[in-house]
Amino acid sequence: MMPNIRDYIRSIADFPHEGIIFRDVTTLFADARGFRMAIDQLLHPYAGIPIDKVVGLEARGFILGGALAHQLSTGFVPIRKKGKLPGAVISEAYQLEYGEAVMEVHDDALKPGERVLIVDDLLATGGTAEAGIKLCRRLGAEVIGCAFVIDLPELGGRAKLEQMQMPVHVLTSFE
Ligand code: PRP
Ligand code: ADE
């Protein structure tokens, strides 16, 4: 039988904290068929839709985003954690489980009116993706969708993004 994307995702108990089941995509990325299946499935809804740039969220969104941008023949733009990008940036703070973090993008990375697809490995509370959407919108870009390999629906990220009128595409979810 054809393998499912879930078969390639490893679950590790009690990482990084006791009680968390960490959904590890390194096993998906390491498998030739698994990685290709993930890229093909992430792109499926966007066939025939114009996209100017793929935006990847640090860190695993870079791996997926590079492959998606290559397949779509678009450029790739990284959104990084505070202090990592060398040029002039704009910043957005977002809530973590404990405290706050900041995401940044180069202030010239997207042009007004550019149509972008945001990608990451996993959607949990949606805080990271929301910060990414806000950064793209502040540069005048139009975010046409957000794509993730994994959704954790209990954490409410998908509902949060859909409240921002954002189409969300996920390949699989874990309760
Ligand atoms: C994970 C994941 C997403 C984010 C999702 O990254 O790769 O980027 O959490 O969580 P949220 O929906 O609650 O914002 P993490 O913050 O662990 O950083 P890393 O990719 O640099 O390891
Ligand atoms: N980010 C937030 N929750 C996670 C989980 N359970 N597995 C992997 N990354 C996560």
Domains of the chain: 49-173 (3.40.50.2020)
Query: Block means of pLDDT (10 residues each) for the chain, length 175 residues?
Result: 92 95 98 98 98 98 98 98 98 89 98 98 97 98 98 96 96 96
Active site residue 6: no
pLDDT of residue 57: 98
ipTM of the complex: 0.97
| Residue nearest (by alpha carbon) to ligand 1 atom 1 | 122
Coil, strand, or helix at residue 148?
strand
Residue with tokens 């629906």: 153
Residue with tokens 């009680």: 19
Sheet containing 115-123, strands listed edge to edge, beginning at the edge strand earlier in sequence? 89-95, 100-106, 75-81, 53-57, 115-123, 142-151, 168-173
Active site residue 60: yes
pLDDT of residue 50: 98
pLDDT of residue 99: 86
pLDDT of residue 98: 74
pLDDT of residue 18: 94
Could you tell me the distance, in angstroms and rounded to a whole number, from the CA of residue 84 to the centre of ligand 2?
Answer: 22
Active-site annotation holder among 23, 60, 80, 158: 60
